Amino acid sequence: METSLLLSAALFGFVTSLTPGPNNTYLLASGMNHGFRRSIPYMIGVLAGLALVFFSVIVGLGWVFTTLPVLYQILKWVGFAYICWMAWGIATSGTATGETKSTNYVGLWKALGFQFVNPKAWIVAASFTATYVPAGGSFVGAFLFTLVLVVATSPGLVLWTGLGQLLSTWLTSPTKRRVFNYTVAVVLVLSMVPVLFI
């Protein structure tokens, strides 16, 4: 396998990880409301979930959506409902410094499970596979590409979470935090609108 192809795949993963989307928007809010350390399980869950989605598409399971497009439509709306629930959790999070509601905390397993109903994850995986993965590759090759993507995606998740924690030092008043949480909740929902109409 050519090194240049893997480097291109890594660059794709890194750039994609920096773009706004459901995961990054939630990590921004999580870093702000729960701190970087408590957001680590969410980051791990995202990476594990993305690895499973990417690997599934690379080995050919993406054909399910091509064969049965109605399943993709269902996935989009289930994902949208879940994101609305996450947005509600952000909007109703604690507003005072250090005040958080445990019911609004999304840990490793929920983050991992979310990737399977996250339409953006499936779209990115399909785009990546079509562009970078040679047809008829082996399971070892699929594992290698998945590993490259997960490693390349990690810095973006760390940056969004770190930005959230940095904002927490500036938004110290309950009013500012409330405005931030409402704004992020709206952005989180809006981030799904383009996907719903693809």
Q: What is the rounded average pLDDT for all residues in the chain?
A: 81
More confident residue, 5 or 15: 15
Distance from C-alpha of 141 to C-alpha of 35, rounded to nearest angstrom: 37
Residues 6+ apart with CB under 8 A from 91: 181, 182, 185
Identify the band that residue 6 occupies on the pLDDT scale cut at 50, 70 and 90: confident
142 pLDDT band, cuts 50/70/90, is confident
Total Cβ atoms within 10 A of residue 78: 14
Does residue 136 come out as left (phi exceeding 0), alpha (psi in the -120 to 50 range) or beta?
Answer: left
* pTM assigned to the model: 0.77
pLDDT mean over 110-129: 84
pLDDT score of 124: 81
pLDDT value, residue 153 = 92
Single-letter residue type at 15: V
pLDDT interval class at 118 (50, 70, 90):
confident
d(C-alpha 98, C-alpha 95), whole Å: 8
